[in-house]
Amino acid sequence: MTIQVDTTERIDIVDVTSDVIDIFPSEFDRGVCTVFVPHTTAGVVVNEPESRLLSDIEHALERLVPRDEEYDHNTIDDNADAHLRAMLLGESVSIPVVDGDLALGTWQSILFIECDGPRTRSLEVTTIPA
């Protein structure tokens, strides 16, 4: 199952929780749902989609991996910072499924984090029965 996401900024955080729930098979009752990002300059995390926190996440990524450092990969396509930021975020999350629902905590959402946008991206959603 594939979700498509259009990002609008170079760093862009998109809450994809409802997209995952929409694509989720209704007959799937118990197990694990994985969301995988098949890209090298974007990541996915589970966290709180509060607007000021999203801004803090963007600024933290910029501080941790500055755009204007000298990177060897920049001689290829000038996006080494995006690869390194994506590597810190990780490329997949696994969420337990209990009684047909994602067992996310009250403040948890699935956040796709673009590091080299704007682009159209895809996410692969897989369900594993338990």
* Residues in touch with Zn ion (CB under 5 A): 77, 79
Q: How far is the CB of 71 from Zn ion (least distance, A)?
A: 10
Cβ nearer to Zn ion, comparing 38 with 96: 38
Residue number, 7 or 79, with CB nearest to Zn ion: 79
CA distances from 3 to 79, 98, 111, 120 (A): 24, 22, 13, 10
The residue (of 69 and 77) whose beta carbon lies closer to Zn ion is: 77
Reduced to 3 states (helix: H, G, I; strand: E, B; else coil), residue 65 is coil
Minimum distance between the CB of residue 79 and Zn ion, rounded to whole angstroms? 4
Identify the CA nearest to 36 among candidates 126, 108, 129, 120: 126
CA distances from 98 to 32, 89, 92, 95, 127 (A): 9, 26, 20, 10, 12
Total number of residues shown for the chain:
130
- Spatial contact of 124 and 38, defined as CB atoms under 8 Å apart: yes
- In whole angstroms, how close is the CB of 119 to Zn ion at the nearest point? 12
Quote the least distance from Cβ 80 to Zn ion, whole Å.
Answer: 7
Is the CA virtual torsion 49, 53, 58, 60 positive or negative?
A: negative
Q: Which is nearer to Zn ion, 36 or 71 (CB)?
A: 71
